[in-house]
Amino acid sequence: MNSLGEYIALIIILACLVLSALSAVLIRGQITTIIVLSVFSVLCAVLFAMLQAVDVAMAEAVIGAGFLTALFVTAADKTRGQGS
């Protein structure tokens, strides 16, 4: 990391990561939590891409934001109204 601008962008992304992780736990409602988790994954992918790990960034974006969201939404839909 060589320039100040990249450093500031890194700090902002790290802060947003902490915020989205906290809000995924604190927010009420299953669907909202799932969407916030996918936002977390996208931020993680951006972070990996900034740290020159493009392979990992691609895997994180596709799995975390795409596939896991679909699986979680399906599971939430199938188990709606059971438990809390």
The secondary element (H helix, E strand) that includes residue 62 is: none
Q: Is 77 helix (H, G, I), strand (E, B) or coil?
A: helix
Question: Which of residues 25 and 28 has its CB atom nearest to another protein in the complex?
Answer: 25
| Residue 28 near another protein by CB under 8 A | no
| Residue 71 near another protein by CB under 8 A | yes
| Residue 31 near another protein by CB under 8 A | no
Q: Which of 8, 12, 31, 62 binds another protein (CB under 8 A)?
A: 62
Q: Which residues, 6+ apart, have CB-to-CB distance to 43 below 8 Å? A: 13, 16, 17, 20
The residue among 9, 38, 8 whose CA lies nearest residue 23 is 38
What are the residues binding another protein (CB under 8 A)?
1, 7, 10, 14, 18, 51-52, 54-55, 58-59, 62-63, 66-67, 70-71, 74-75, 78-80, 82
